[in-house]
Amino acid sequence: MSAVAASAPAAPVAIAAPSAWKRATRSGGLVIGIVLVIAMVLIAICAPWIAPFDPDDQDVLMKLEPPSAAHLFGTDAFGRDVLSRVIWGARVSLFVGSVATLAGILVGTVIGIISGYFGGLVDKLITAATDILLSFPQLIMGLILVAVLGPSLFNLILAIAITAIPAFIRVARGSTLAMKERDFVDACRALGFGDLRIMFLHVLPNIMDEVVVMGSLWLAAAIRTESTLAFIGLGVPPPTATWGGIIRDGFDNLLDAPWLSIFPSLAILAVMIALNLIGDGLRDATDPRTPQ
Partner 1 sequence: MLRFIAKRLLLALPTLWAVLTLVFLLVRVVPGDPTIIVLGDQASPAAREALRQRLGLDKPLLVQYGEFMVQIAQGDLGRSLVTNRPISTDVAAVLPYTIELTLAALFIGSLIGVPLGVVAAQKRDGFVDWLARIVSLAGLSFPAFVSGILLLILFAVELRWFPVISTVNTSDPLERLRALALPAINLGLLMVAYVTRVTRSGMLKALSEDYVRTARAKGLPARLVVWRHALRNVLIPVVTVIGLYLGVLIGNAVLTEIVFNRPGLGKLIVSALNQRDYALLQGLMVVTALAIVVANILTDLTYGLVDPRVKTA
Contact call for residue 21 and partner 1 (CB under 8 A): no
Burial of residue 41 (number of CB atoms within 10 Å: 0-12, 13-18, 19+):
middle
Contact call for residue 143 and partner 1 (CB under 8 A): yes
Contact call for residue 128 and partner 1 (CB under 8 A): yes
Contact call for residue 268 and partner 1 (CB under 8 A): yes
Q: How far is the CB of 5 from partner 1 (least distance, A)?
A: 43
Contact call for residue 187 and partner 1 (CB under 8 A): no
For 31, residues 6+ apart whose C-beta sits below 8 A from its C-beta are 25, 281
Q: How far is the CB of 64 from partner 1 (least distance, A)?
A: 15
Answer yes or no: are the C-beta atoms of 222 and 160 closer than 8 Å.
Answer: yes
Contact call for residue 39 and partner 1 (CB under 8 A): no
| DSSP classification of residue 66 | P
Write out the binding residues for partner 1, residues 218-247 only, by CB under 8 A: 220, 224, 227-228, 231-234, 244, 247
How many CB atoms lie under 10 A from the CB of residue 56? 15
Q: How far is the CB of 227 from partner 1 (least distance, A)?
A: 6
Of 255, 275, 224, 259, nearest to 68 by C-alpha is 259
| DSSP classification of residue 81 | B
Contact call for residue 292 and partner 1 (CB under 8 A): no
For 254, residues 6+ apart whose C-beta sits below 8 A from its C-beta are 261
Q: Which of 136, 195, 205, 239 binds partner 1 (CB under 8 A)?
A: 136
CA angle 209, 210, 213 (to 5 degrees): 85
Contact call for residue 34 and partner 1 (CB under 8 A): no
Window contacting partner 1 (CB under 8 A); options: 79-87, 102-110, 177-185, 261-269: 261-269
Window contacting partner 1 (CB under 8 A); options: 118-126, 180-188, 204-212, 253-261: 253-261
Residues in contact with partner 1, counted by CB under 8 A, come to a total of 43
Of 74, 95, 102, nearest to 161 by C-alpha is 102
Q: How far is the CB of 76 from partner 1 (least distance, A)?
A: 15
Contact call for residue 36 and partner 1 (CB under 8 A): no
Total number of residues shown for the chain: 292
Of 180, 264, 195, 176, nearest to 223 by C-alpha is 264
Residue 62 amino acid letter: M
Contact call for residue 96 and partner 1 (CB under 8 A): no
How many CB atoms lie under 10 A from the CB of residue 10? 11
Residues lying near partner 1 in the complex (CB under 8 A) are found at 128-129, 131-133, 135-140, 143-145, 147-150, 220, 224, 227-228, 231-234, 244, 247, 250-251, 254-255, 258, 261-262, 265, 268-269, 272-273, 276-277, 291
